[in-house]
Structure 1
């Protein structure tokens, strides 16, 4: 029960900080959030927790806000800006991966305290790294495309929830299947593989649905330089 209650607070804090980032820094804040979220998601995923008897990884909350960010960019600034944000996040993932792998190659000093911890966090299994990169690249561009299509089919301001949840629901399913296939196929029995995939997707989608009021709030923000 503690993890559930703390998890609710954790989700609320993530959303509040997202809104603050956009309110304070405008569109540039959204690109900043994408960069921070991609790095933090890959750090948090190393930690596992148990909730209602189900073991899950952290990182799903902050990762879900990436979809929230690109959908908001698509809604207010257009598909081109949303795609730019996806490339921004992808470059951030590559940059942090390359730099931190080089950091791990350095031989630590005899009294060093950080190397083992950094190895645990950033010494990722190649299949997991490849799965994360492929899943991000495919699902994020898919999310942008679907959102744009839904924007044409359901253009009403009150229909934002359809555009947001529709695009995110499909793209996160693809994200989960791509990641789990590359990272875990053959590593676990199929029943375990499906359990990992289903629980991961359900958690991501629930968080995304919970973010619906957040994207409505963020859309209402107005900035002098954009008027």
Structure 2
């Protein structure tokens, strides 16, 4: 990985983290959902999840896509270095702009744990099943996003919100992230598997 690629990647990680830490404080459907209108338990649950979706759920999965693309093309040491630099760059701005200080701490804990796990498992799957790109990208990212989302919402909000809200925010964000992960898979295939040799950014 060239220095240019390293620092562009690190700044991209930092930007995604900072933006997501800010956006997680805002629900997409800000209007109060009247749960009394639910006709049955399933409808009630769907409406409850719907009312807790945040904008951070949309922006954050991009970091996993970027991490997997880098992992496909570069060695583990360089990818983890970009991850560490990105975290360092993002920490202070996250403290400043996040709706509460726990969010910055939660973000660092969740991001480092899940992305480190993502990289480690990605390389092991790539080594063992080199042709199964969808396994190391889609399935691996889905599992790591579960880990990330669980850690983040419990560290960030368990001391400041009722646990029902914490769990529903976790569940709502996870559903959105896993859904977006399906859309990220063809992008990963196109960029990391098919056309990366044509992109100067990925030159080693």
Shift of 1:188: 4.3
Provide the C-alpha distance between the structure 1 equivalents of 2:10 and 2:151, rounded to a whole number of angstroms: 25
Provide the C-alpha distance between the structure 2 equivalents of 1:59 and 1:183, rounded to a whole number of angstroms: 13
CA RMSD of aligned residues (A): 2.5
From 108, 115, 120, the counterpart of 1:133: 108
From 54, 58, 63, the counterpart of 1:57: 54
Paired residue total: 179
What's the secondary structure of 1:155's corresponding residue? coil
Q: Residues 27 and 97 from structure 1, CA distance in 2 versus in 1: closer, same or farther, beyond 3 angstroms?
A: closer
Q: Which one has more relative contact order, counting CA pairs under 8 Å at least 6 apart?
A: 2
Provide the C-alpha distance between the structure 2 equivalents of 1:41 and 1:30, rounded to a whole number of angstroms: 16
Contact 1:90 1:133 in 2 (8 A): yes
Which position in structure 1 is the counterpart of 2:37?
none
Which position in structure 1 is the counterpart of 2:16?
37
TM-score w.r.t. the length of structure 2 is 0.76
1:226 paired to 2:203? yes
What's the secondary structure of 1:211's corresponding residue? helix
Which position in structure 2 is the counterpart of 1:85?
82
Which position in structure 2 is the counterpart of 1:109?
none
Q: Residues 75 and 203 from structure 1, CA distance in 2 versus in 1: closer, same or farther, beyond 3 angstroms?
A: same
Q: Residues 196 and 31 from structure 1, CA distance in 2 versus in 1: closer, same or farther, beyond 3 angstroms?
A: same
Contact 2:58 2:177 in 1 (8 A): yes
TM-score w.r.t. the length of structure 1 is 0.69
Deviates more, 1:194-203 or 1:123-132: 123-132
Which position in structure 2 is the counterpart of 1:116?
none
Shift of 1:145: 0.9
Q: Which runs of 5+ in 1 are unaligned?
A: 1-24, 102-121
Which position in structure 2 is the counterpart of 1:161?
134
Q: Deviations over 1:123-175 (max 9, x none)?
A: 5312222212211111111111111111122111xx21110012211111111
Provide the C-alpha distance between the structure 2 equivalents of 1:39 and 1:123, rounded to a whole number of angstroms: 8
What's the secondary structure of 2:196's corresponding residue? coil
